[in-house]
Chain A
Amino acid sequence: MTRSGCRRLLGPLLASALVLAASACGSGEPTADGAQPSGSGSAGGPVSITVNCMPPKTNKAQRTTYEEDLAAFRKLNPDINIEKVTDAFPCYEPRTFEAKLAGGQLETVFFVNFPNVGRLVAAGQAADLTPYVGELKTFKDYNASLDIFKKDGKVYGLPTDGYGMGLVYNRDVFTKAGLDPANPPKTWAEVREAAKKISALGPGYVGFGEYSGNNVGGWHFTASLYGRGGDVVTPDGKQAAFNSPEGVAVLENLKQMRWTDDSMGSRLYIDWPALMKAMAGGRMGMMLGAPDVLISLRNDFQAKFENYAVAAQPEAKALFNGGAGYMINPKATPEQIRAGLKWIEYEFLTPGKGQLDYVRAKGANLTVGQPYPDLYGADTPSGQEVLRLRSENANVAPEQFALWAQGSKGIPPKAEPGPYAQEIYAILDTPMSAVLTRRDADPAKLLADAEAKVNALLAKKG
């Protein structure tokens, strides 16, 4: 074949391949009028929805209860067709979220953890649920955890899991170090003393573990700062507020523990599983963490569950509010939104049903008695019912969570620092990693540098 002939053949081939690729990949292009996720169902007929975050097959007990709930919900709501349930883990995966949204593959009802709520709301990537939430029976009983899903008076999601920060500790390690596991530290000075004793147990023992990279360093700095009464941004969200005596105290305390006391080990924990693995390993004494950390140590990291307990965050004036919930695909129809909310209500928000069915959970080798999810006000009918069912069916040792529950009572929760939390956390990773890697790190200077960066970021975002 001649060169020109080859070119003539290649031209159309290339063009057709590109058009084919563009048309195939562009099928999920966002449209001005808003395309709908697949399976929306015809108006007036049965409505089809998809949901995510089914427990993985490896978590047999929870998977079974979830499947039972799906079957029961389908029976109760023959007009709602849950046509697809996905079990990809982790439930919220930022690496695929936007690709799925663009390609029309995002589930109608999708899971989201608190740190990502703000930016999804700000970006318009979740449906406005305000006109529909009044139809939920327990909606009026929600506590302040709902606030994280609100913006300008509108509701964009429903929390299904919520907890305040605390101090997670290993009771076995405490005993070995001559500390009283029933009386864990209540002040940061006591944390330092306990950490010193634990690290003195020998090589491999770490008194206190802390994060320093991949945005989790900034996340834990925020939790510590809130506890000391500080703030990350000003109330209007336009300026950094962490360059304060409280911020310096957070870093100074870590620096002293790392370099003066040598009680933090020399390993850096740069992502969430790293510190969890170290804690599960059984030679780390303490870390900042909410009560859910204990369950995760048991289910995901195969730790010896009974060795762990959670106490109130030392000297806490406010508790960083962690948790997760569900949002609805912004391309969903009103019928799909209603159907999706019904599912969320059935599975996560009805005392005695779904994941709040503590009688069933107790018989299914699931932990009952941990003080979360903390969704409803304690004096509301839903809140009282959840507490009653939980205490009647508790199968975890009370001392594992009791100190957290008692010590955290009355301490106000505090949410993520706005929609740019992840960018701010990335900036705050630097001071965290600096005090844990440099003996001569200057907390005040580090915070001043970070402040300038955060102010520039917030000014740019307007």
Chain B
Amino acid sequence: MTTVTMRGPRHRDDPGRRRNQRRRLAVRRNVTAYGFLCGALICFAFFSWYPMVREVVLSFQRTNFVDAPVWVGLENFVTVVQDAAFGPAWKNTVAFTVLALVLGYGVPFVAALVLNELRHARAYLRLVVYLPVMLPPAVGVLLFQWFYEPESGLFNQVLGFLHLPPLDWLNSTDTALVSLVIVSTWMNLGSGTLIYLAALQTIPGELYEAAELDGAGLFRRIRHITIPQTKLILLVMLLLQIVATMQVFIEPYLLTGGGPENSTVSVVYLMYQYAFNFGNINGGNALGVMLMIVLMVFSAVYLRVSREDES
């Protein structure tokens, strides 16, 4: 700045020089931010974008990682599509996603509504609801393995206490997938509830007071105030939930091994089988690309919705 003043009026009107100076100042001001940005970019490049690009490339190749890879066009895609487990894997994944939406989407919202209405012990209950999130996912899943034990498991003991017949839970093609959805819902309940709760707390209290004065009951208040006011966050959570649940893996991997009779094989589980058990990493990548395309559609919708939210 001093330099500019000393050089006098001749330089003051030089637009190029002023532009450069402004740029230098802006860069200096933002150098820390750029540092952080670089770190994030490098991390994303290493751990997200590069693997994604490699996944796409490998899905069109046949390679043993010893000899030069061979381009095979759509051969890997044809192989996985013709696999007997391909249809069930997609069917199960879609079924899991839909069931997880019914349970996993609704339950946290209801829990948030209840927590929001409570006058006492709110902080304590919030902690209790969030506790499952603090457990490592594998621990949570294995805990349910014990709950689902046909003979001595907690759930069948509760059913017995209520004089209800025991269920086969993970051992039946009818109940195995639903059992996995219950695990998933329980593990993700905390995060969903907290996000909904945060959204609920941004709704001005006057709206509810006015509605109460107008004689609106609880359900009408939810229908005409809560849901419209949290519409965007509900939509964003819906899309995030779809993207997350379509990638279901740990539950079938640890609890059912894809069985019984392929009733819990998911797309990601099949991908794992191809890549690591069948020694066909290219087939696994082809499945990954298919799933990525489906998820990209939902992600695009999510981005559009969030942009609308910002505006």
Inter-chain contact A271/B66, CB cutoff 8 Å = no
As a 0/1 sequence over residues 12 to 55 of chain B, the CB contacts with chain A under 8 angstroms (1 = contact) are 00000000000100110010001001100110111001100010
**Selected contact of B65 from candidates A125, A436, A457, CB within 8 Å:** A125
Q: Is A76 an interface residue (CB 8 A)?
A: no
A433 near B64: Cβ-Cβ < 8 Å:
no
Interface members, chain B 39-98 (any A CB < 8 Å): 41-42, 44-46, 49-50, 54, 63-69, 79, 82-85
Binds B, one of A25-33, A151-159, A311-319: A25-33
**Could you say which residues of chain B place their CB within 8 Å of the CB of A21?**
42, 45-46, 49-50
Write out the residue numbers on chain B whose beta carbons fall within 8 Å of the beta carbon of A429: 257-259
Q: Which of A222-230, A246-254, A261-269, A406-414 lines the interface with chain B? A: A261-269
In contact, A31 and B171 (Cβ under 8 angstroms) = no
The proximity string for A residues 451-462 relative to B, scoring 1 for CB distances below 8 Å and 0 otherwise, is 001001100100
How long is the Cα–Cα vector from A423 to B278 in the complex, in angstroms? 6
Q: How far is the CB of A167 from chain B (nearest CB, A)?
A: 24
CB-based contact B259/A427 at 8 Å: no
Q: Is the interface of A mostly helix, strand, loop or mixed?
A: helix
Give CA–CA (A437, B259) in the complex, Å: 10
Given A30-B63, A32-B68, residue A426 in contact with residue B45 (CB < 8 A): no
Structural contact, B27 and A1, CB atoms closer than 8 A: yes
Evaluate contact between A460 and B279: CB separation under 8 angstroms: no
Whether A268 lies near B42 (C-beta < 8 A) is no
- B172 in contact with A437 (CB, 8 Å): yes
Mask of B250-271 contacts with A, CB within 8 angstroms, 1/0: 0000011111111000000000
State whether the Cβ of B281 lies closer than 8 Å to any Cβ in chain A. Answer: yes
A98 touches B65 (CB 8 A): yes
A232 to chain B, nearest CB (A): 16
Residues of chain B lying within 8 A (CB to CB) of residue A456: 82, 84
A243 to chain B, nearest CB (A): 15
Residues of A within 8 A of B26 (CB): 1, 5
Q: Does A378 contact B (CB under 8 A)?
A: no
| B150 at the binding interface (Cβ < 8 Å) | yes
Selected from A32, A215, A460, the residue in CB contact (under 8 A) with B67 is: A32
Please measure, in the bound complex, the distance between the C-alpha atom of A20 and the C-alpha atom of B44, giving whole angstroms: 12
Q: Are B66 and A331 in contact (CB under 8 A)?
A: yes
Closest to B23 in A: A5
Which residues does chain B contribute within 8 Å of A94, judged by CB atoms? Answer: 276-277, 279
Q: Would you give the shortest CB distance from B279 to chain A, in whole angstroms?
A: 4
Asked if A444 lies at the interface with its beta carbon under 8 angstroms from chain B, I say no
How many Cβ-Cβ contacts under 8 Å join chain A to chain B? 147
Q: Does B247 contact A (CB under 8 A)?
A: no
Q: A144 interface residue, CB < 8 Å from B?
A: no
Is the CB–CB distance between B63 and A270 below 8 Å?
no
Report A250-285 residues with CB < 8 Å from chain B CB.
Answer: 265-268, 270-271
Of the candidates A25, A266, A422, A437, the one whose C-beta lies within 8 Å of that of B261 is A437
> For residues 261 through 295 of chain B, which have their beta carbon under 8 Å from a beta carbon of chain A?
261-262, 273, 276-279, 281
* Chain A CB within 8 A of B157 CB: no
> What B residues does A423 contact at CB under 8 A?
278
How far does the Cβ of B120 sit from chain A's closest Cβ, in whole Å? 43
Tell me the bound Cα distance from A187 to B184 in angstroms.
44
Question: Quick check: A14 and B277 within 8 Å, CB to CB?
Answer: no
Q: Decide if B149 touches A437 in the complex (CB within 8 Å).
A: no
- Which residues from chain B contact A102 at a C-beta distance below 8 Å? 65
A92 to chain B, nearest CB (A): 11
Chain B binder among A43-51, A116-124, A177-185, A361-369: A116-124
Q: Which residues of B contact A420 (CB under 8 A)?
A: 278
Q: How many Å from the CB of B13 to the closest CB on chain A?
A: 21
How far does the alpha carbon of A378 sit from the alpha carbon of B157 in the complex, in Å? Answer: 56
Contact A13 B38 (CB under 8 A): yes
Told that A101-B66, A438-B261 touch, could you supply 16 new A-B pairs with CB distance under 8 A? A1-B23, A1-B30, A14-B41, A17-B45, A22-B50, A25-B50, A30-B68, A31-B68, A94-B279, A204-B152, A213-B259, A214-B257, A266-B171, A268-B260, A426-B258, A429-B257
Which 9 interchain pairs have the tightest Cβ spacing? A213-B257, A270-B257, A214-B257, A266-B150, A17-B45, A433-B260, A433-B259, A102-B65, A32-B68
Q: List 11 A-B contacts (CB under 8 A).
A: A13-B41, A17-B44, A17-B45, A119-B279, A204-B152, A270-B255, A422-B279, A429-B257, A436-B171, A436-B260, A460-B79
Question: Interface of B with A (CB < 8 Å)?
Answer: 23, 26-27, 30, 34, 37-38, 41-42, 44-46, 49-50, 54, 63-69, 79, 82-85, 149-152, 168, 170-173, 255-262, 273, 276-279, 281
